[in-house]
Amino acid sequence: MSFEPLKGIRILDLTSVVVGPVCTWRLAQYGAEVIKVESPDGDLMRGLGGLSPTGQHSGTYLHFNRGKRNICMDLKKPGALAAIEKLVESAHIIVANMRPSALERLGLDDATIRAKYPEKIYCLITGYGTDGPYAGQPTYDSVVQAATGMTGLSLARDGTPSYVPMLICDHVVGEITAGAVLAAVAQWRTSGTGCSIEVPMFETMSAFVLQEHLAQRSFDPPIGPPGDMRLLSPHNKPVQTADGWVSFTVNTDSQVRAFLKAVGRDELLDDSRFSSVSSRAKYVKEWFAIRGAPLTQRTTAEWLEILCAADIAAKPCHTLESLPDDPHLKAVGLISFEHHPTEGTAAALRSTIRFNDSYPPLRTPAQPRGWETREVLQELGMAAATVQQLIDDGAVLAEGASASGKAD
């Protein structure tokens, strides 16, 4: 039996781009029925996330929107607002990452919905919350990386600020938000009580950074500068070998001794600077210079064999080209291929979390705009003729029809 703890729960997904879709994707993994509402222009990530055969389903979009039903509405039109009211009424959870001011204009804000439906769980993801001097300002992942000091970490280490080359803030906040929704569901199931959730990206990622890097300033008075000096060491990088790069980490005293023997630095085994965790923390610059020294006398494969024999955590440094072919990922079947309604054959990433010795079932592919508009609205009790009139009026788009009701 598959593990679907959220089966029977409907989520109205008023999110786009990355952070919100990551949250609702995770909840869909657990069996929730997620109905994604998209504008006729489409989610920005359909094209922004990379190339695709039709230009409408980037790989990024496909992976973040798996397992969701798609309806397409022009919320500026009265007919669409009447239809979305039925969705709000039928949903147990509403998740949004639109600007609060836009939600208020549409009557889709937390205060309006929960005044009418206090049993609902309403979750709003914002850039900077609804209080404070930044409230209401727009943001994207890279801006949050800079604002939270993440780019400053590479400035401290390398002398130049740089972005993590993936949407790390969106990913992290999306997953944290999914956890918050699950907590609210647990309360709702025991008490029937709804909940208002607000997750600000800036505060959330600031805390994420400071948990590791407030460091010596965690005390009053401070006992040193901020920052985990190990992580900020310029030597804290993959190590060059004769034919590539290898990544390894040694933290415990026994691992350090095994490492020094493996790389032929026996003369350092009795060096008091490196004999304990506390002493290595004191002499972190000297230790990481040793740990990060090139190992060009042997190949990556040879070093991996040596380090593995010493029970040291080590792996090759994959590239984007080589990662999908990793033997472990192939053996566990992380990536498969399936038919998509408009894109032909496309990759599918299964859940990485196993429950009761099995993975949740692979959800349906991310859908084209309006793929289930007609079906969902009729399920909510709207007559077929009424739905067709909404299509003709441009209030909704259905199954590949344009906003004017003509085929794309």
Q: Residue 308: which CATH number?
A: 3.30.1540.10
Q: Is residue 145 part of a domain?
A: yes
Tell me the three state secondary structure of residue 312.
coil
Report how far residue 310's alpha carbon sits from residue 299's, in angstroms, rounded to the nearest whole number: 17
Report how far residue 158's alpha carbon sits from residue 357's, in angstroms, rounded to the nearest whole number: 44
Task: Let me know whether 337 and 307 are in one domain.
Answer: no
Task: Let me know whether 126 and 16 are in one domain.
Answer: yes
Task: Let me know whether 159 and 19 are in one domain.
Answer: yes
The confidence score (pLDDT) of residue 400 equals 57
Q: Is residue 222 part of a domain?
A: no
Task: Let me know whether 269 and 377 are in one domain.
Answer: no
Axis-axis angle for helices 168-191, 19-29 (nearest 10): 50
Task: Let me know whether 161 and 186 are in one domain.
Answer: yes
Domain boundary among 290, 316, 342: 316
Specify the DSSP element, H or E, that contains 316.
strand 313-316
Q: Is residue 219 part of a domain?
A: no
The confidence score (pLDDT) of residue 403 equals 36
Q: Is residue 4 part of a domain?
A: no
Task: Let me know whether 202 and 272 are in one domain.
Answer: no
Q: For residues 100 and 125, is the Cβ–Cβ distance under 8 A? A: no
Task: Let me know whether 307 and 357 are in one domain.
Answer: no
Helices first, then strands: H and E counts in the chain = 17, 12
Domain range for 194:
10-208+332-397
Q: Residue 146: which CATH number?
A: 3.40.50.10540
Task: Let me know whether 204 and 247 are in one domain.
Answer: no
Report how far residue 290's alpha carbon sits from residue 149's, in angstroms, rounded to the nearest whole number: 28
For the entire predicted model, the pTM comes to: 0.93
Report how far residue 159's alpha carbon sits from residue 387's, in angstroms, rounded to the nearest whole number: 59
The confidence score (pLDDT) of residue 282 equals 94
Task: Let me know whether 269 and 351 are in one domain.
Answer: no
Q: How many CB atoms lie within 10 A of CB 187?
A: 13
Task: Let me know whether 301 and 378 are in one domain.
Answer: no
Domain boundary among 277, 292, 316: 316
The number of folded domains in the chain is 2
Domain boundary among 292, 316, 340: 316
The confidence score (pLDDT) of residue 318 equals 95
Report how far residue 283's alpha carbon sits from residue 260's, in angstroms, rounded to the nearest whole number: 16
Task: Let me know whether 133 and 67 are in one domain.
Answer: yes
Q: Is residue 372 part of a domain?
A: yes
Q: Is residue 170 part of a domain?
A: yes
What is the distance between the terminal CA atoms of the chain, rounded to a whole angstrom?
41
Query: How does pLDDT run along the chain (408 residues), one tens digit per residue?
Result: 678 999 999 999 999 999 999 999 999 999 999 999 999 999 999 999 999 999 999 999 999 999 999 999 999 999 999 999 999 999 999 999 999 999 999 999 999 999 999 999 999 999 999 999 999 999 999 999 999 999 999 999 999 999 999 999 999 999 999 999 999 999 999 999 999 999 999 999 999 999 999 999 999 999 999 999 999 999 999 999 999 999 999 999 999 999 999 999 999 999 999 999 999 999 999 999 999 999 999 999 999 999 999 999 999 999 999 999 999 999 999 999 999 999 999 999 999 999 999 998 899 999 999 999 999 999 999 999 999 999 999 999 997 543 333 333
Nearest to 14 by CA among 129, 94, 77: 94
Q: Is residue 216 part of a domain?
A: no
Task: Let me know whether 149 and 277 are in one domain.
Answer: no
Q: Is residue 70 part of a domain?
A: yes
The confidence score (pLDDT) of residue 131 equals 92
